[in-house]
Structure 1
Amino acid sequence: MNHYLQTTYADDGRGPHAFNCWGLTRSARHTLFGKPLLPSYDDIDPDDKPALTDACKAVRGTGFHEVSLRPGAIATGWRGQCCVHIGLVVQSDGRLWVLETRRKVGPTLTGIPKFERRFTKVVYYDD
């Protein structure tokens, strides 16, 4: 996990040294939890929230379902009907966190309550 915390944010980032929120979640889920790589969606602009929402719905349609908070789940942050951000639930020091990256902040481990306060709704998904 330390590798991800030492990367930087990039709008089109798919790694290994720079990521956007989708790229980080996609890579970390594969590396840390051994899950198959999700589609890249590298053609979607991070500011195009309707396209991000469509991508989220497309991934959900491939066998993902809503789950309770647990390591390996994808945390989706919603404002109204739009998915505006995602991260990955990880465990460190006996606590659950969201591994995420943002433009002005870069990669961080964010506490669950703090992550959830930033959105009108947070839904966790896993396959």
Structure 2
Amino acid sequence: MFDRYLTATYLEGGRELPRLDCWGLVILARSELYGLPRLSNFGAVTRLTPVDMQRAYHAEVERALDECDPAPGAIAAAMRGALCVHVGLVVEKEGRLQVLDINPRGTPTIQRLADFEARYLRVIYYRDRDLSVEAQG
């Protein structure tokens, strides 16, 4: 199920297999694995453009995401203070919640939720906002 993503190699700004960055992996895998709509691509916004990255992160959260508890398909946003520095995708593997992610220093990994959380000061989980409920309100 996850083998397709574990063959990726890291490319800053990569949005299609086989070359992905952390955001590219998240938007592709959540769409393919969970049938969720693709989120914004962010174009040339990467970790190397930190001001633009933070603007894009906040805009996407404001537009389409709500905080939630960890669950399959949720985005795990790793924070340093108010800055989002990395993202992964919560998946269920072997009956446990884990995080699928990729970073510049390696290949994609699937790690225990606790191990992912231990690497960062804070992790915020996001799910898609139910826009149909907002439209009714």
Calculate the TM-score normalised by the size of structure 1: 0.94
Deviates more, 1:9-18 or 1:49-58: 49-58
Q: Secondary structure at the match of 1:45?
A: coil
Map Cα deviations across residues 10-35 of structure 1 (whole Å, 9 max, x no partner).
11211121100000000001100101
* Whole-Å separation in 2 of the counterparts to 1:113 and 1:124: 13
| Larger Cα-atom Rg | 2
* Whole-Å separation in 2 of the counterparts to 1:49 and 1:77: 14
Partner of 2:7: 6
Partner of 2:134: none
* Whole-Å separation in 2 of the counterparts to 1:49 and 1:122: 18
Partner of 1:51: 52
Partner of 1:89: 90
Structure 2: any 5+ residue segments left out of the alignment?
129-137
Count of residues in Structure 1 that have an aligned counterpart in Structure 2 = 127
Partner of 1:74: 75
Map Cα deviations across residues 56-92 of structure 1 (whole Å, 9 max, x no partner).
2111112311100110000000001100000100001
Q: Please identify runs of 4+ aligned residues in structure 1 that moved more than 6 A.
A: none
CA RMSD of aligned residues (A): 1.1
Aligned residues with identical type, % of pairs? 37
Partner of 1:117: 118
Structure 1: any 5+ residue segments left out of the alignment?
none
